Structure 1
Amino acid sequence: MKLEELNIEQIMKKLEEDEVVANELDKKRSVLAQEQTRIFSEYLKKLLPALEFIKNKGYYFKHPVIDYVSQGGPILDYNRDENCLFVYNLSEKRVKQFSLYNNKEAGTVVLNHHFFMAHDFETALQGLLHPLNVQAEFIKDCQKEIDKRESLIEQYKNL
């Protein structure tokens, strides 16, 4: 665009209009993140006894799309840029951030709408729900191993 084609009044009017829309959308996004926080908290409250049972029985917490495990509680998210994992620590009843560079705690995160502004709601919810399948997965894996061992015993016992 050439200098003589620039109309600063039109540009300013468009910027002001866009600012109004941007502010409205930002407010709506924040309200939706607050609703996601409320829903997540309800799931967490309801699932807490089951999650504590899983932890107390010594099972690891896995996530269906994040390739890490946790002993302390459900994995809620992973940040590739910072190489850190977000875990709901069942003992402390709060979200902990762990650096995977040194396997150390990198801080505590408040589970509020700011968390869901920065992290994916569905990923976090999957982290709460997936551990409910840990025993079924363990049973399936054990049965496969038993079947394989029995088959090998049958195959080699008469040599």
Structure 2
Amino acid sequence: MNKAITSFLKAAILIMGLIVALLCIFLLPGLAGDAAAENPEFAYLKWPVLLGMYAAAIPFYIALYESWKLLRYIEGQTAFSDFSVQSLRCIRNCGIALGLIYAAGIIGVGAAGALHPGVFLMGAAIAFCSFVISVFAAVLKELLRSALTMKKENELTI
């Protein structure tokens, strides 16, 4: 793969990580405080929701790290290796975890009667995208595993 393409993808990973970090550090606490002040009957949900958002950042950053590793494997011409399969498995699991965290948050906030339709749509979109990424990573993992098996069989044949 072209070095420019992998460099672009690495820059995209860094930008995504930076944006989420800035949101977690600066925007989320303020939004949580404002929401608690405007809706005192739901102020008790401030910390559980905020902690859930921070918990969702953990699998997100793990998936970004594994994506970075995949790009390094591609640059090093070792994309067809068991390490890539492990990275794709981790990305799949992180996508599932992220989707489940958001789905649980939607259910929890909805059960408390505090779920705004806009928040529901945004959370559902994030959960859905996370599950789609998980499925895509799982398909890539299986394709890569099949390619590795064929490569090993060809090496034994020759």
TM-score by length of 1: 0.29
Higher normalized contact order (CA 8 Å, seq sep 6+, divided by chain length): 2
Larger Rg: 1
Q: Which structure shows the bigger proportion of residues in helix conformation? A: 2
TM-score by length of 2: 0.29
Q: Which structure shows the bigger proportion of residues in strand conformation? A: 1
